[in-house]
Structure 1
């Protein structure tokens, strides 16, 4: 065979050299954090770009925030944005490309623009408001009459949530005094399954309530229980 040949390591080393030359300087990149884990102070991320109309992933790669810069960088982002760095966030990050013949392609994160993430969350919030307005749902709660006497209260909250503990400090005192009676059910409030978990927990709670009581709950309390602002 007369065609020019390379070993795999030679071929990948050539690609490594091209990437080093082409992307010598870091660049700002928009991406979604699909997954994030912390090990030994290092932040390991999986970044992705999704097609807006279908939510299909069209690009992805691994990223790392090394320990020596992670504490300062992450603290700065969270202080400026009020948001915990976590998965499902859309971020604008300064990255430097890295390719290793043995471990493949990844990027090192050198900075995070907190203002971009704040703006993205504000944009998504406005989209929710516009949708609720278009569907004539935005003022539904305000139009409900306020009950003047609360006795039996249904509570949906994450299990062992800090917010639930704060709520129960006062609720237990009211229950003990015979002012109100509280029934608790749990649900998952974070991640892709949150909406389904909350809906199923509420449905189960109401079915059980119908068996135990002759009337509907006077009040349904849903407690988020702390966590990142972007999980709201």
Structure 2
């Protein structure tokens, strides 16, 4: 019967097999999913993802011991300008290692920084391509800086020296121009940069009418900290922002994607302040020059008008004398015309009254005769309708409550009626 192996013996066989079959070092491409330093050693988790679905298709652990990691890290950061961090594509030189107690891992002996630089450049170009495809890459460039850009929303670290330099530069400008900076604190280095700056932009957007321009500044710091400004999400937010955005976050040899999509990019916070001061100085000079030109133009116009008034003053007595003579002659003619018109109208109305008087007398006489005849007829009718004549003929008149009774239906039980006769009257009660 075959003797059983202990776990240590089995793992020892695996180690020996690996040492025999994989004795060499290998260059391998992978993405860092995790990276941590413990007591000077670097522990990495490597992953390879499917090109189309982004699903991990291979995973492995890797270690870089302290004496190697110290040189590898420094060389990588010096060449790329950034520290190694999760999400980066790296090209590692590794050897297979299997430890009886700790299992399998790849031991890293070198890292090729040029490969990572190429991958970062590819990612930057992909982000730029996508921004251009969305039509937002040049949106900020289409904005214009307001003439009086004095209300400044500043996105920066609250305790950063760069923010202090920026404010000091604005306050101490030679022309005494007034600015009103308002800080919106944000993280300006590390992985939280993108989300933090976007939150600050959202806060500014909620008070958009209070500001003329936005300035994003970062004072000092390592070039490696610029990676947070190279994200698609942050670039889209900046490109679509309704106010012009000025950035001052890098160094002379560095330009982030954020710099590319911003309205204007400068290298330092003081340069951003100088840009705003220079812009307002130009506006101030234009306003001052316009004021001076306006004063000169008004002065010249006043001189011309004063000369014109003097000339008019010299001509006025003569003109007034002629005008008065003309007006007096005109009034005299009007008076004569009115006098003649009134006399003519009076003569015409007097003749008309005489004609009316001649016509009125015969017409009045005829009208009086007709009315006298009409009155005689009315008198005869009134006499004929006198109730006394009816009573003399034997008729009577019955009244109830002073009203003539024309029908028995008008009377009710208990009504008192009065019957008037030719001689006297009789009262009756209806039963």
TM-score tier after normalising by the smaller chain length: 0.7 to 0.9
Distance 1:136 1:152 in 2: 29
Which residue number in structure 2 is paired with residue 165 of structure 1? 161
Change (3 A) 1:159 1:101: farther
**Matched positions, count:** 222
Range with greater deviation from structure 2 (2-11 or 47-56): 2-11
Which residue number in structure 2 is paired with residue 70 of structure 1? 69
Per-residue CA deviations over 1:107-161 (Å, capped at 9, x if unaligned) read 211111111111111111111111111111121111111233221111223555x
Summarize the alignment of residues 3-152 of structure 1 with structure 2, pairs less than 5 Å apart. Answer: 5-152=4-151
Distance 1:199 1:73 in 2: 34
- Tell me if the contact between 2:45 and 2:60 (Cα under 8 Å) persists in the aligned partners: yes
- Tell me if the contact between 1:175 and 1:181 (Cα under 8 Å) persists in the aligned partners: no
- Tell me if the contact between 2:25 and 2:93 (Cα under 8 Å) persists in the aligned partners: yes
Distance 1:128 1:30 in 2: 22
Q: What RMSD, in angstroms, separates the aligned Cα atoms of the two structures? A: 2.7
Range with greater deviation from structure 2 (167-176 or 85-94): 167-176
Q: Name stretches of at least 5 consecutive residues in structure 2 with no aligned partner.
A: 231-431
Distance 1:3 1:179 in 2: 92
Q: Which has the higher helix share?
A: 2
Distance 1:223 1:32 in 2: 31
Distance 1:37 1:136 in 2: 39
Secondary structure (helix, strand or coil) at the match of 2:146 reads coil
Which residue number in structure 1 is paired with residue 216 of structure 2? 222
Distance 2:217 2:64 in 1: 33
- Tell me if the contact between 2:163 and 2:218 (Cα under 8 Å) persists in the aligned partners: no
Question: Taking structure 2 as the reference length, what is the TM-score of the superposition?
Answer: 0.46
- Tell me if the contact between 1:175 and 1:182 (Cα under 8 Å) persists in the aligned partners: no
Change (3 A) 1:71 1:57: same
Per-residue CA deviations over 1:40-60 (Å, capped at 9, x if unaligned) read 322222222222333333322
Secondary structure (helix, strand or coil) at the match of 1:59 reads strand
- Tell me if the contact between 1:171 and 1:182 (Cα under 8 Å) persists in the aligned partners: yes
Which residue number in structure 1 is paired with residue 354 of structure 2? none
Secondary structure (helix, strand or coil) at the match of 1:87 reads coil
- Tell me if the contact between 1:152 and 1:218 (Cα under 8 Å) persists in the aligned partners: yes
Distance 1:104 1:11 in 2: 11
Which residue number in structure 2 is paired with residue 203 of structure 1? 202
Per-residue CA deviations over 1:35-76 (Å, capped at 9, x if unaligned) read 222233222222222223333333222222222122222222
Secondary structure (helix, strand or coil) at the match of 1:115 reads helix
Q: Name stretches of at least 5 consecutive residues in structure 1 with no aligned partner.
A: none
Q: Which has the higher strand share?
A: 1
Task: Work out which structure has the larger RCO, using CA pairs closer than 8 Å and 6 or more positions apart in sequence.
Answer: 1
Question: Taking structure 1 as the reference length, what is the TM-score of the superposition?
Answer: 0.81
